[in-house]
Chains A and B, each alone.
Chain A
């Protein structure tokens, strides 16, 4: 364990924890309102650990939807994670199997973005760093969702205190962080338009998968950048086997 790496991970994760806290609280408050117990709130936050899909699941619990439909909807909302795990494999492939087990469990949107950012900057993505970044988001997420369930009615309308704007802003910030990449603007614009069209005509949560698919297919079809062997990155990769 490298302490400096762990601290850097905590630093990377802290703003994520801050931005997601209102949604954890909101989830807890709404869940209790829907008739979930605090133990169930904790259980869901601790095992599913995926904010948007937890809120979707909750909505369907409220409508007494059939179990398979709830599970299928949660799968649809979380389907983007398949892409995340494929895209971070190059940075975390040196982890041990047990480390990988936890790595994938903690792979939420911002965790994915921070991992890619660090990997692309040429810094070693060690398990210690990853765990630091993940744990400071995970533990508050579970605790704050329970707290939200306990305080429930005190939170009131999240719009009145402007909490609803934080998560979209946070995601916007992540998108901006990738603006120097090849084809960034084309991919972002196509995904944005496709997701808005899908949101309008197909509905949530499918707009995420459909919009993302449009941008990804575009990137695959656009002319490839001239290939340069990335020796430096390879050398760095091979140096990071200690944890």
Chain B
């Protein structure tokens, strides 16, 4: 076992704040007696809103290999499942990088 005390303390603090974010919303929402409809609408938008922000900048900042792969995955994903999306994106990226972009 090879631990550096400073590193371990920083990691432990990071773990604590991360856990705080993961329980924080629950603590807040259970304090409320009734959830107003507008807040419920806001909560319903959470998955689409947050997860979109994890994809959009990648598309924007990435090269054409990344963009084409995500577009291909988008079309595949409208009809099939996750696994096929991953495969489609991976094939596009590999073909691009080892032919056109190589």
Interface residues of A (CB under 8 A from B): 15, 18-19, 36-40, 43-44, 47-50, 52-53, 57, 61, 67, 70-71, 74-75, 78-89, 93, 100, 104-105, 107, 109, 112-113, 116, 159-162, 164-166, 168-176, 178, 181-184, 187-188, 190-196, 199-200, 204, 207-208, 211-222, 224, 227
Which of chain B's residues have a CB closer than 8 A to the CB of A36? 7
The answer to whether residues A176 and B74 also contact, given A39-B3, A40-B4 and a CB cut-off of 8 A, is yes
Given contacts A38-B2, A195-B53, contact A87 B46 (CB under 8 A): yes
B36 to chain A, nearest CB (A): 9
What 0/1 readout, one digit per residue, does chain B (58-102) give for beta carbons within 8 Å of chain A?
Answer: 111100011001100110011000110110011001100100000
By a CB distance below 8 angstroms, the chain A residues around B41 are 182-183, 219-220, 222, 224
Q: Is the pair B93, A162 in contact by a Cβ cutoff of 8 Å?
A: yes
Summarize A's interface: helix, strand, loop or mixed. helix
A78 touches B17 (CB 8 A): yes
Q: B50 contacts A208, CB within 8 Å? A: yes
Beyond the given pairs A74-B14, A184-B48, 15 more chain A to chain B contacts, judged by CB atoms under 8 angstroms and listed by A's residue number, are: A71-B10, A85-B23, A85-B25, A85-B26, A93-B30, A165-B90, A166-B86, A168-B58, A195-B56, A208-B53, A212-B49, A215-B50, A216-B49, A220-B45, A224-B38
Q: State the majority secondary structure of interface residues on B.
A: helix
B1-15 interface bits toward A, Cβ cutoff 8 Å, 1 = contact, 0 = none: 111101111111111
Q: A104-B22, A196-B56 are in contact. Are A67 and B6 (CB under 8 A)?
A: yes
Subset of 6 A-B contacts with CB under 8 Å: A48-B15, A80-B50, A83-B25, A199-B57, A216-B42, A217-B42
Number of residue pairs across A and B with beta carbons under 8 Å?
274
Asked if A196 contacts B46 (CB within 8 A), the reply is: no
Name B88's closest neighbour in chain A (CB-CB): A169
- Pick from A39, A43, A183, A212: contact of B53, CB below 8 A: A212
- How many angstroms between the C-alpha atoms of A48 and B11 in the bound complex? 7
Q: Are B94 and A162 in contact (CB under 8 A)?
A: yes
Most buried by A among B28, B54, B86: B54
- Determine whether the beta carbon of B14 is less than 8 Å from that of A207: no
Contact (Cβ within 8 A) A170 B86: yes
Q: Most A CB atoms within 10 A — which of B42, B48, B55?
A: B48
If A19-B86, A105-B19, A220-B39 touch, whether A192 touches B26 (CB-CB below 8 Å) is no
Q: Which residue of B lies closest to A184 (CB)?
A: B48
Contacts of B1 in A (CB 8 A): 39
Are A211 and B56 within 8 A (Cβ)?
yes
The answer to whether A43 and B93 touch across the interface, beta carbons within 8 angstroms, is no
Residues of B within 8 A of A175 (CB): 47-48, 51-52, 55
A169 & B45 in contact (Cβ 8 Å cutoff): no
Among B52, B59, B74, B82, which residue has its beta carbon within 8 angstroms of that of A211?
B52
Task: Collect the chain A residues with CB atoms within 8 Å of residue B27's CB.
Answer: 85
Contacts of A193 in B (CB 8 A): 56
Q: Which of B4, B15, B46, B65 has most A Cβ within 10 Å?
A: B46
